[in-house]
Amino acid sequence: MAVNQTREQWGSKLGFILAATGSAVGLGNLWKFPYITGENGGGIFVLIYLVCIAVVGIPVFLAEVMIGRATQSSPVVAFDKLSNASKTNWNFVGWIGVFSGFIILSYYSVVAGWALNYTLMSISHFFDTLSPDKISQTFDVLYASGDINVFWHAVFMLLTVGVVYGGIKGGIEKWSRILMPLLLGILVVLFFYAMTLDGFGRSFKFLFYPDVSKLKPSGVLEALGHAFFTLSLGMGAIITYGSYLSKKEDLVKTSVIIAVLDTAVAIIATLVLFPIIFTFGYEPQAGPGLLFKTLPIIFSQIPGGMILSIIFFLLVVFAALTSGMSLLEVVSANFIDLLGWGRKKAVLIMGSIIFIIGIPSALSGSGAIFKNWEVIYGINFFDTVDYLASNWLLPIGGLLIAVFTGWFMDRRVRENEFMTGTSFGRGYKYWLFLIRFVAPVAVFIIVLQRVGFINIDKLFSW
């Protein structure tokens, strides 16, 4: 194991907050949250999601930052160091994280590539002359065009590699300082625009008026699973970012701030999308369709739509880039810490490997590769990777991280790490209770439901 000679550190506390918020805010907030909220009855789902963030998301987030800061290492080495106390080696949890990083970034980059493609389409006035049908069909054409997908996937990976290559302070922090304020600014502008639309009141009510009769127990699980994805938990991204923090920082306060920012972005994004959709007579529909099929139709019909469309898709690109950076950093930092590689070598090699393993996802809609995948597995390659990562790898990683921190981590190290730099020391026992009992049980139930061992909706129906 390589020794940490001079480990890089964040330049400032704000730098860390922006970078970690950048990791958290991504396609999960702009695309997935609005659509699952629509599917699960609005207000009541939002309420449950907020509870999940508070009782599971924030405690696990805090556990990850603590593991990172305590060991000043990326996940595999971090678990190696902390495992001594428990006589069992937990570094496999770190390896699950590294593996998830490869997998998630390989297809995340393809989706981000679509956003790049739509940004260019908006700039070139593509939507102006087309009928709504044609506009939504364009997405299907794009999806089926393997070469174009590979091209945009390459562009996005190049951008991500370019940033992470620059290191923590000179790359990730610098770009988070530029992109995050821009992202928040764009969101606020779009929010003011959405407020002027007729559908705003209806959207507001839909989001904040909990109608208990619409509650499906499986919606609770969906909310919990999404809490992990949206906070970038379960694969060591936050461990890695935490490893560049100094002992001075107040981890409790910082974790709460990041979770609140992430949640605020998801809610504001929904308050931007729904009024547009309601006002122009569409219903929030499932999947990638909402972002890439419906919205361009609406943009083509409203005054100033071209500008709105450009800034909206740029927003998506920025959000995906700051998340992609953290995914590449987990994978690269692992080889830097474990094998003593230089950063540049690690980032270039890992970036290239991820580009290559993303190619099947990029070609997935074209039938150029794995032609019979869908026939054999029921879903295409792209959807298979997404499903494996978000429904399996992240919840299981999160479960193991919670169990390790709650039950196996050296008590003194754990307490010390929580207490150092915080004025919320009194919260320790509550946090410990959440991380030991609430988080593992909750995630375990998600896993059982996903595996199909239990069907929560049926269990509660009698």
Q: How far is the CB of 208 from ligand PHE (least distance, A)?
A: 22
Q: Which is nearer to ligand PHE, 300 or 332 (CB)?
A: 332
Of 271 and 331, nearer to ligand PHE (C-beta) is 331
Interface residue list for ligand PHE (CB under 6 A): 23-24, 26-29, 104, 229-230, 232, 235, 237, 323, 326-327
Note whether 319 and 30 are within 8 A (CB).
yes
Which residue do the tokens 């970012």 mark? 241
Alpha carbon distances (Å) from 45 to 34, 194, 270, 276: 11, 22, 13, 21
Report in angstroms how near the CB of residue 293 gets to ligand PHE at its nearest: 20
Helix and strand element counts for the chain (H, E):
25, 0
Question: Among candidates 119, 172, 153, which has minimal Cα distance to 354?
Answer: 153
Question: What is the nearest approach in angstroms of ligand PHE to the Cβ of residue 246?
Answer: 23
In whole angstroms, give the CA distance from residue 308 to residue 289: 18
Q: Are the C-beta atoms of residues 339 and 192 closer than 8 Å to each other?
A: no
Closest C-alpha among 334, 184, 317 to residue 262: 184
Query: At a CB cut-off of 8 Å and minimum separation 6, what does 150 contact?
Result: 359, 362, 363
- 15/146 with CB nearer ligand PHE: 15
Minimum CB separation of residue 107 from ligand PHE in Å reads 11
Q: How far is the CB of 99 from ligand PHE (least distance, A)?
A: 13
Q: 355 near 135, Cβ under 8 Å?
A: no
User: Which is closer to ligand PHE, CB of 24 or CB of 48?
Assistant: 24
Do residues 293 and 134 touch, judged by C-beta distance below 8 A? no
Residue whose CB is less far from ligand PHE, 23 or 384: 23
Nearer to ligand PHE, 73 or 323 (CB): 323
In sequence order, which residues have a C-beta less than 8 Å from that of residue 41 and are 6 or more positions away? Answer: 211, 214, 215, 216, 219
Residue (119 or 390) nearer to ligand PHE, CB? 390
Shortest approach of ligand PHE to residue 26 CB, angstroms? 2
The nearest distance, CB 396 to ligand PHE, in angstroms, is: 13
